[in-house]
Amino acid sequence: MDDRVWTTQLTPLRFLRRSADVFPEKQAIVYGDRSLNYREFAGEATRIANALRASGIDAGDRVAYLLPNIPEMLIAHFAVPLAGAVLVAINTRLAAEEIRYILDHSGAKILVVDSALYGGIVPIAEELRTVTEIVTVTDPAAPGEGSPVPYERLRDRGSERPLDWTVDDENTTIAINYTSGTTGKPKGVQYTHRGAYLNSFGEIVHSTHTPESVYLWTLPMFHCNGWCTPWAVTGIGGTHVCLREVRGEVIWELIERHRVTHLNGAPTVVTTVLNAKSARPLDYSLIVTTAGAPPAPTTIGQAERMGLRIVHVYGLTETYGPYSVNEYQRAWDELEPQARARELARQGVGMLQADRMRVVGEDMEDVPADGATMGEIVMRGNNVMSGYYRDPEGTAKAFAGGWFHSGDLGVVHPDGYVELRDRAKDIVISGGENISTIEVEQAIVAHPAVLEAAVVGVPDSTWGESPKAFVVLAEGKSATGEEIIEHVKATIARYKAPKEVDIVTALPKTSTGKVQKFQLRS
């Protein structure tokens, strides 16, 4: 007798079935005047899954979605895998040619697209090699041109005929997420049912979700499947508040209307929330889980004063989003606010569901835990992708030595907490000295007139390379480049201060809030 006959395969599909059983009448999704309870949520996912099967989607086929954070995108995270297919969620800000590449490379058979975005893909529609049908979702909040197949027609092909909320193999692919491709063609990062299931528990635990959670969708669902939060919040029975676009005033209106308890996003999203005209101190704790770039200690301090509790996580697309968390230590309560913020700005330790995060030298040996010796951050385990889709060479390179290589440089402090110092490609080497652009950026943002900053290396005839800063000033504040340079020199080692400072109105960013430094270098 098989001694594992009683085990079941891990899949986040089970989360929606459980919540529909346990919380059938509880509000699951709210968007404007629309609202679905968990019974209706499960019914919609089942109907769309049956519709996809009726449309010719077989096990393992790819179904692409090009949607903002509206209910149909959330439903897709369950409907597509429930149909046995693989979800390909596409960045809504990509150019048509980038979208074409992803659709062709993934071999997607059906594309579901927001009608407001449909016009942008019309020029490539006839060139798509594998897409047999383009379905448009029309959002009354932003109507646009519809394709010959409206979402309602797709939906009508389905029914609520019961489907099995399980999988035969937990290691099959549930989603493919494409990297930004700033250094080449985008890579298709494969997530498994097992990995998504386990990562969801990490999100529940470390962001302290409960059935009373009211989660605001400030993080794009196309980015690492929203850090697996579509599955996590559903699993715990919380409420999803959908949000079409990230705007400070809208965010605060929804926070007040729904008494939002949680939101996720890059530090730039946190900055948007903190600096909105309607921002005010809250009378309860709103948990903000942030990643994408290390939050400046100044930002963390400001958030605390507003009643926002920062949960700082770190990861990449290849690690299902968050892999590590800055696990809070009660001893930090005794620190001065600035000192505590510096502790919170570190990337921390592996999350509960992840392996230990390592920092290694070129020999793959761990660097000393001295807070100074830099090495590359490497990871492995359930929280790491199964590989790049149709790219065995890229996969082998990424996992050289048996660990996933992040390309990020960091140090390990004596307490075992890892601190990110830079991307390997972003480190500035000036006169033989390594200068962390993150350290310089945090020093700049500590200036009271500064809202945001980005630092890059530029050629220097004397030192080979030197730091240059691009700075966005806070509304109503003023400062000169010279004043900012002097401020940095008084904060960190003088040789690390930027030689130039450009005051700009905005920094170039990706749709997930990451600064596109390659544009600043050009």
Statement: residue 435 has pLDDT above 90: no
Contact status, residue 244 vs residue 70, Cβ threshold 8 Å = yes
pLDDT tier at 490, thresholds 50, 70, 90: confident
Q: How far is CA 81 from the centre of its chain?
A: 20
Q: What is the average pLDDT score of the chain? A: 92
Q: Given the structure tokens 């986040």, which residue do they identify?
A: 12
Statement: residue 453 has pLDDT above 90: yes
pLDDT in tens, 206-256: 999 999 999 999 999 999 999 999 999 999 999 999 999 999 999 999 999
pLDDT in tens, 190-204: 999 999 999 999 999
pLDDT at 431: 61
Q: How far is CA 209 from the centre of its chain?
A: 17
pLDDT in tens, 309-320: 999 999 999 999
Q: Given the structure tokens 């809504």, which residue do they identify?
A: 92
Q: Which position has the higher pLDDT, 427 or 170?
A: 170
pLDDT at 345: 85
CA atoms within 13 A on the CB side of 299: 31
pLDDT at 432: 55
pLDDT > 70: what percent of the chain? 96
Mapped onto helix, strand or coil, the DSSP state of residue 44 is helix
pLDDT at 1: 45
pLDDT in tens, 46-76: 999 999 999 999 999 999 999 999 999 999 9
Q: Which CATH number fits domain 246-423: 3.40.50.2000, 3.40.1210.10, 3.40.50.2300, 3.40.50.12780?
A: 3.40.50.12780
What CATH class is the domain 428-521? alpha beta
* Tokens standing for residue 466: 């030197």
Helices 267-274 + 248-258 axis angle, to 10: 80
Beta strand segments in 236-383, E? 239-241, 262-265, 286-290, 308-316, 321-325, 349-350, 358-360, 375-379
pLDDT at 3: 61
pLDDT tier at 384, thresholds 50, 70, 90: very high
Statement: residue 304 has pLDDT above 60: yes
Statement: residue 450 has pLDDT above 50: yes
pLDDT at 378: 98
Q: How far is CA 301 from the centre of its chain?
A: 23
In angstroms and rounded to an integer, the radius of gyration of the C-alpha atoms of the chain is 23
Statement: residue 181 has pLDDT above 70: no
pLDDT at 98: 87
pLDDT in tens, 92-117: 988 888 899 999 999 999 999 999 99
Pairing of strands 239-241, 262-265: unpaired
pLDDT at 509: 84
Question: Measured between alpha carbons, how far is 348 from 328 in angstroms, rounded to an integer?
Answer: 9
* Tokens standing for residue 41: 């949520």
Contact status, residue 276 vs residue 248, Cβ threshold 8 Å = yes
Statement: residue 293 has pLDDT above 80: no
- Listed in order, the ranges of the chain carrying CATH 3.40.50.12780 are 13-25+35-193, 246-423
Other CB atoms within 10 A of residue 399 CB: 18
pLDDT > 90: what percent of the chain? 77
Region of poorest pLDDT, from 25-29, 184-188, 236-240, 313-317: 184-188
pLDDT tier at 4, thresholds 50, 70, 90: low
Question: Measured between alpha carbons, how far is 257 from 363 in angstroms, rounded to an integer?
Answer: 54
Region of poorest pLDDT, from 180-189, 363-372, 451-460, 469-478: 180-189
pLDDT tier at 299, thresholds 50, 70, 90: confident
Q: Which position has the higher pLDDT, 297 or 156?
A: 156
Mean pLDDT of 367-381: 96
pLDDT at 182: 46
Domain 13-25+35-193 has CATH 1.10.10.10: no
pLDDT at 184: 63
pLDDT at 417: 98
Longest CA–CA span in the chain (Å) reads 76
- Listed in order, the ranges of the chain carrying CATH 3.30.300.30 are 428-521
pLDDT at 423: 75
